[in-house]
A and B are shown apart, each in its own frame.
Chain A
Amino acid sequence: MPSVRLRLCLWIWILAGAAVAGAAGCAHAPPPVQPWQREHLAKRALRFDADPLEDRFRQHWYGAREGADLGFGQPGGGCGCN
């Protein structure tokens, strides 16, 4: 029998999936930005994935010094801090 917290976690995932599916249902409405309005969207300031290698290094570093990394994508570390 899963614990209460495990069930809560599963429900959060289910609700998040439902919310995303619901958002997809908005696709019939006019999009908030038209193709000719995308001039600035490629700028670093509006991208969350502009520095993937830097993100990888930061994740490894935070995973070694803080406890809230998710524990994947940063194997080992030399300091035994798995």
Chain B
Amino acid sequence: MLLAAGGGAVSLAAAARAEDLVTIRGAYYREPSTRVIQPVVEIRKDLPDGFDVNAHYLVDTITSASAAAGTTIDNIFTEIRNEVGLGVGKSWERTRATLSYKYSAESDYWSHAMWASASRRFWGDTATVGIFGGFSLDQVGFTVRTPPCRTSTGSSCPLDSVFAGLAYTQVLSPVAVAQINLDSAALWGFLANPYRQEPNVGPEVFPDRRLRNAVSLRFAYYVPEWATGFQFQYRYYRDFYPGGLGGAPDPWGLTASTLEGRIYHRLSRDLEVRLLYRQYFQGPPAFWCDIATNSGCSPMASLPPWPYGTSDPAVGPVRTEYPEIKLYWEAVSLSSVRFFRWFAAGTFEISYGRYFQNDAFGNAHVLQTGYSMPY
């Protein structure tokens, strides 16, 4: 999407023209205090004159032990999030442009996002430049407290963002491809968790602005004799507070590095396996501290006008590892089986991964399955 893994969703949409395809997919995520079940359906359709359209609908069913997972507050609840997205694309001989919109709603968070992308192939169709940009307008709802950003007549605070990305993909040889991505996003508004309470402190306080930047490199190589391909990705991320600080230290400064490797191997004519391993290393922002184990450590609480503080595990010194195995099965062998031959043109996929986290969230099981069929 981003053109990078983290941003990948937006930029990838620009990479290729759609085909007539319907996809149903399900994901199951389970960690000690949170369970997520996400069914999704997406349909893509080619239209005359180089146009194509796509639409998706998904539901997130999140059951958590706490409204602010990772805190000491224990309260079982189930939240439903509905998301719908629409996109239209136009392809020319070597150029493609898209326009997309997405709306997401849950009981305490609403988001509108719109973005556009364009890509062009050149140099004998071996190089592709892609750009995208967009914005989102979110509302964070409050039910348990009244932060300063909440107006007397409203029940939510705004969180707006603009984002952009640039990607360059180069075919290096008949079996090697490289890509570089640059992504940035500026956010302003209510960036904290509306529920998180820090022990003996009160609600966490985040800066009201954040500029997030990431650069990533990808390389893919295929060995025909082995029917095996390799992908490697490195991504570096850093954020900071945009604007004047009046001599005060930057409250942000979160840095992260992601390493990911994938091996694809064709086991038979119809069956392919993918092995994935990802490692993620994160350094916390300046205003983070582990208040639960070190009360009074909030490094910026005494630096007005920057009274920030959080112990949110997601922005702490996070390290995660994720090994996964995935199978793709092209179901052509069903063409001779009564009834099931309707599915013979499609591809089934299933994956299982284990997400190891070093923080309070604990380790997670991740199961995904799906089926895509051209029509």
Contact = CB atoms under 8 A, between A and B. Distances in A.
Given A45-B230, A67-B282, A78 B243 contact: no
B5 to A, nearest CB: 7
A19 B196 CA distance: 44
Interface stretch (B59-67, B147-155, B297-305, B338-346): B59-67
Interface of A: 1-3, 5-6, 9, 12-13, 16-17, 19-20, 23-24, 26-27, 29-35, 37-41, 43-49, 52-62, 64-73, 75-82
B187 A67 contact: no
A39 B174 contact: yes
B34 A79 contact: yes
B370 A68 contact: no
Nearest to B370: A53
6 A-B pairs closest in CB distance: A45-B229, A31-B124, A75-B111, A78-B62, A68-B256, A78-B79
Nearest to A61: B29
A33 B182 contact: no
B15 interface: yes
Contact of B166 (A20, A66, A68): A20
Given A40-B224, A45-B220, A68 B282 contact: yes
Interface residues on B, range: 35 or more
A78 B174 contact: no
Contacts of B235: 68
A55 B140 contact: no
Given A67-B282, A71-B212, A81-B193, A76 B1 contact: no
A48 B282 contact: no
Given A6-B211, A69-B6, A41 B177 contact: yes
Contacts of A70: 2, 6-7, 163, 183-185, 212, 214
B280 A44 contact: no
9 contacts: A6-B242, A9-B211, A35-B125, A45-B228, A46-B220, A66-B318, A75-B136, A76-B105, A82-B140
A48 to B, nearest CB: 6
B222 A40 contact: yes
With a 10 A CB-CB cut-off, give which of A27, A40, A64, A76 has the most chain B CB atoms.
Answer: A76
Given A65-B320, A81-B314, A72 B136 contact: yes
A68 to B, nearest CB: 4
Given A31-B171, A67-B314, A68-B256, 16 more contacts: A6-B211, A23-B129, A26-B127, A34-B124, A45-B228, A48-B12, A54-B25, A59-B5, A68-B235, A70-B7, A70-B184, A75-B104, A76-B60, A76-B81, A77-B62, A82-B191
